[in-house]
Amino acid sequence: MSELIKIIAIALVTVFANILVKQTKPEISMLITIAGSVLIILMSVDALRGIISSFYEIFERTGVQSSLLTPLFKIIAIGYIAEFGANICLDAGASSIADKILFFAKITILIIALPIINTVIDLVKGLI
């Protein structure tokens, strides 16, 4: 809970600094936004470590191949990174670039997901 309060505080400081600087130095306001966003993401890394270890425990208990974890984590990371990049572009008023980022991320996720889809199909075939 305290981490959430810290993140909200950083977000509010970033927004207020952005508002103050935007009228006089618009090029610096975007840098403030990016810096605040990166700081918030870095603070979120500890929470991600707990989630990753939980996934490893689930895979160990179920007997699912642990080799599926790497593509799964890559897919999740691509989703978050693409959303972050697209939101920065949207903040800068470049919505068409944001759309291209998200489009490419979806293609990349599909490419990475193909081995997982094949494994699931093999599992279903083995049950039949």
Q: Which of 106, 55, 111 is nearest to 79 (CA)?
A: 106
- Gap between the Cα atoms of 58 and 56, Å rounded: 5
- Residue with the larger pLDDT of the pair 68 and 7: 7
Q: How far is CA 66 from CA 1, 111, 121, in A?
A: 32, 19, 17
DSSP assigned state of 92 = T
Q: Which two tokens stand for residue 108?
A: 């990349």
Residue ranges of the alpha helices (H) in 1-128?
2-22, 26-62, 69-91, 95-127
- Gap between the Cα atoms of 26 and 63, Å rounded: 54
**Is 126 strand, coil or helix?**
helix
pLDDT over 90 at 112, yes or no: yes
Residue-wise pLDDT tens digits, 6-30 = 999 999 999 999 889 988 888 898 8
- Is-contact 65 47, C-beta < 8 A? no
The predicted pLDDT at position 113 comes to 93
- Gap between the Cα atoms of 82 and 22, Å rounded: 25
Residue-wise pLDDT tens digits, 78-100 = 999 999 899 988 988 899 999 99
